[in-house]
Amino acid sequence: MRKIANAVRPGLARVVTVTKPQVKRLTQAAGPRLARIGQVVGTRSGDPARTPRPRTLRTWQYTAGAATAGLALAAGAVTVAGPWDANGQRTAERDRAAAEGRTGGADHGSATAVGEPAPAPSAGSVLTGLGTATNAVKSAPSGEPAGISGTAVTDLLGPLLDASALGGTRTAVVVDVATGRRLYDAGADTALTPASTTKIATAVSALSALGPDHRITTRVALEPGTREAVLIGGGDPTLTARAKADGWASLRTLAARTATSLTARGIRQVTLSYDTTLYSGPDLHPIGVNDNLARVSPLMADEGRTDGSFSGPVARVSDPAADAARKFAGFLTAAGIKTSSPGTSKASGRAETLATVTSPPLSAIVERMLTNSDNDIAEALARQTALAGGGPASFAGGADAIRARLSALGLPMTGASFHDGSGLDRDDRLTANLLTALLVKAADADRAGLRPVLTGLPVAGFTGTLSTRYTDGAAGVVRAKTGTLTGVNTLAGTVVDKDGRLLAFAFLAADTTSPLDAQEALDRTATALAGL
């Protein structure tokens, strides 16, 4: 069991130390699985009979919830997101699989190497209430309809959402995932700027259009009767030129395969071209040149980043496609194939494929997008969604495709307006009603292909854009997509309450004046849900 404990991030140790007196009560409520993990980490606890639950939520309750969440992460109650291994599987899942000797789970379509453990389940643990053995989501208790004064949720959230830090306009919805019943409603159908919570809609649309096993191909083709080799962009936003590919499609591997294929044909020198005609329309987002997003191209390596980063804002190359083509030419030369300086072209229908590389499954790409709030992936997936429906792969085409897919799923589209896939466009509009409906749809047992929308959400206090948040409350219990633009702060995701029920929530605030204060106010509100 030691590997299980090691799979949990170091923050767990801090949380357990602070919350020793309350862990036993929360652990027993979570079930035998958490109790076993509590023994592993050596947790000491007090007498639950002497620890009555106050009517007012306090810091120790939040912290105790964080400890339970950390234990739940280790046991699989929620999936610990972290670095992806060579198969696109989170390393924490792999380690837990080895420790428990379990088989099956979301392997994203990748074969397991001989002698290696099979990947651990991921989707089920997100939907299962703490300590339960089935994949059924526990329902919230019945009660008065949302909005009636005196209900627990209204009494709890009303004052928190009235915080001045949340600006002049704020909307919120809380839904019981098991039943779809709305527990709280404040401006549910008021459309506001969603910022990066737009990526939830993009993820649902792409998975619905293409399926979680879809892979994106980058290929090289040889024009017949010539020595022109064309590098054809397929729209893979995760293509990498790094020496260590970590399971993503490798430009170096593509060059090696191309060199082998050319050598077999007796060709040692080529005219190198690159084809970016898959996409249409402007490649520059309406926000202009920005460290949060490269020019959108079907051919790019490492998102055109100018440093070794994998996520977050950083200066980008001015022409991602040309940059990728130059790197590819260098790899070909190193493999013994001389090339011309690469130029633009369009591969003909008669061109013969020399080599290909494919991305990990879409499920893994969606998880990476949501965990890191990756704008480059979001815009690529919007275009892939458009292509799946026969539309133009452009900003407008992607936006139209997202709306069409969500409408086909029967989701509430009142007031919704899409202009991109990332949420960087301030003209985007979504409602709290739509955001929670998207999350509930992703939890639908009949829509298992949408599950990466839930498993990809950042885990509070542990991963992605929430890794440094919730350090003193609800760590591991809240999983949510963040959104921030000037004057806009949003948060949408899921939370496991103290009885192990799964709730979906969406909070949107406009006209905020302090991003940090607004962020903290939203975090307090989500944390409060964990104490219900």
Q: How far apart are CA 404 and CA 77, in angstroms?
A: 34
Contacts by 238-245 with C-beta closer than 8 Å and gap 24+? Answer: 238/359, 238/360, 238/365, 238/368, 238/377, 239/299, 239/300, 239/301, 239/302, 239/324, 239/357, 239/359, 240/301, 240/302, 241/301, 241/302, 241/324, 241/327, 241/328, 241/331, 242/302, 242/308, 245/86
- Supply 427's token pair: 């003209």
Please say if 309 is a catalytic residue: no
H/E element, 217: strand 217-222
Answer for the pair 505, 529: CB distance below 8 angstroms, yes or no.
Answer: yes
What does residue 36 show for φ and ψ, rounded to 5 degrees? -65, -40
Q: How far apart are CA 314 and CA 303, in angstroms?
A: 10
Catalytic residue from among 373, 394, 422, 467: 373
Catalytic residue from among 199, 441, 481, 498: 199
- Nearest Cα to 215, choosing from 83, 108, 347? 108
Please say if 318 is a catalytic residue: no
- Nearest Cα to 253, choosing from 175, 348, 142, 354? 354
H/E element, 357: strand 352-358
Please say if 498 is a catalytic residue: no
Which residues neighbour 39 within 8 Å (Cβ) at sequence distance 6 or greater? none
Q: Is the dihedral of CA 111, 112, 118, 120 positive or negative?
A: negative
Answer for the pair 404, 226: CB distance below 8 angstroms, yes or no.
Answer: no
Q: How far apart are CA 113 and CA 107, in angstroms?
A: 12
Catalytic residue from among 196, 250, 359, 363: 196
Q: How far apart are CA 241 and CA 251, in angstroms?
A: 5
- Supply 141's token pair: 């208790």
Altogether, the residues listed in the chain come to a count of 532
CA torsion 150→153→159→164, rounded to 10°?
-140
Q: Is 340 helix (H, G, I), strand (E, B) or coil?
A: coil
Helix axes 198-210, 362-372, angle to 10 degrees: 180
Catalytic residues, by residue number, are 196, 199, 373
